[in-house]
Amino acid sequence: MGKPRCLIIGGQFSGNFCARELKTQFFCTVVDAKEYFEYTPGVLRAFVKPAHLDSLTFTLQPVYERKMGVKFIWGEVKELDGDKKTACIKTMFSNNLDSIGFDYCIICAGCNFGPFKPMGESLWFPTVHEEARAVSDWKHIDERFLEGRRRHVLEEYQKLHELNKKKSTVLVVGAGFIGVEWATELEHFFPDLKMTIIDFLPRCLGPLPDGAAEYCSEYMSATGIKEFYNCKYDPKNPEFWKQIELPNGADETYVCIGVKASNYFMPKCTLSDKGPGGGGWIHFNKYLQVTKKPSEGGGVWADGSIFAVGDCNYGCIGEPGNWEMPPVPKISYPGEEQAYHACLNVIKLSKNNQNLTKTWWPWGAGMFATSLGPHDACFVAGANENKNSGYMVNWWIPAALQKEIIETSKIDECRDRWVGILIWRLDVFYIYI
């Protein structure tokens, strides 16, 4: 009897991990709507220093097929049928749908970051889905291609360059770690911009410890970035602009808050009615198996052979005050830890072992490295679902160097190169954002 078939939807962090874990025991097929890997935690730097994009990206097909020995399909999954165990895929350069069968499936499809856009479009993640491209603000760019992504980065860089020449005002909405990183990157590389950052919460880095928030706030204050907290973003209200000392508005606004689901291929019975960005997240159980939503009975979907890991899933099990697993941050590390648990369970099911491994709140989900330009940063460990939890354990140049090492070695591992694999598999630097 041949090896079972495992379909992996998404070829980025979690999908890459699953392919490496399962390739010897399964016929693995990885599907991704774009042709390249992108190190999302470092992409902010690329928009202010375009040459950095080359160090964050690589083409997927040579790595998956030539190095790992798994099948790669460049295309978008349009429908997942749990009963028939098939996926309908619209491959690149084809107007037709192809159907591929599987025995097991792990969904590693990620999410989007633009909560105010109809399909979650933002600078921080390429616009690659067919429905999203139809309503994109950047229809002239096809970011399914690496060259299209590069064109987008260069276009945004040129816009920032022109804003800098005019000494324009720029507003960053959201002072979480993405907003803080973006504001400080802009200030460093475009020093003539007049920067303002706001947040609805009483300080930056909302749920993280006071020490980290104070460190970042002091840095922003020293570099001339104006901060306004307890402030709701209300761009149509003149009083809002007066409150943040921009009575004439901002020349450019960047929204750095929230996430939005992009599980367009999943049946509605498996998707949440609520949650960040209006819902649409995949329901799952403690074994990471996809389940139906509570209003549909909440039972296991597709006989338990389909798993959802990382940013695409609902992120929590239970209800506030009675959590079976509290909400998990939508960052890279928890996705990989959940991917490991899902791989263990796929292997067990393939051997008719029903004693599945329970997932848990990943300890690495409490680690946040926040850059403050290229030469400063702060690193928080030990955070959890509780407000102000965790400790700032590293800062200044050492933290900036740590983040550079994490980025370089992690990309090396995802390219299936031995240095990165040794570093991360031996847990030498098993912390990153």
Q: Class of 5-116+259-358 per CATH?
A: alpha beta
Q: Please give the pLDDT value at position 426.
A: 65
**Helix H or strand E encompassing 304:** none
Strand order in the sheet with 306-308: 98-101, 86-91, 71-81, 27-32, 5-9, 104-107, 306-308
The SS3 call for residue 241 is helix
* Beta pairing partners, 381: 391
Q: Please give the pLDDT value at position 116.
A: 83
Q: Please give the pLDDT value at position 186.
A: 97
Q: Please give the pLDDT value at position 330.
A: 86
Q: Please give the pLDDT value at position 133.
A: 92
| Contact yes or no for 260/112 (Cβ under 8 A) | yes
Mean pLDDT by 10 residues, the chain (433 residues): 91 95 96 96 95 96 96 96 95 92 96 87 93 92 97 97 97 93 97 96 89 94 96 93 94 92 94 90 96 92 94 87 85 88 96 92 82 93 80 90 92 91 64 39
| Contact yes or no for 201/210 (Cβ under 8 A) | no
The SS3 call for residue 252 is strand
Q: Please give the pLDDT value at position 208.
A: 86
Q: Where are the alpha helices (DSSP H) in 192-295?
A: 210-222, 238-243
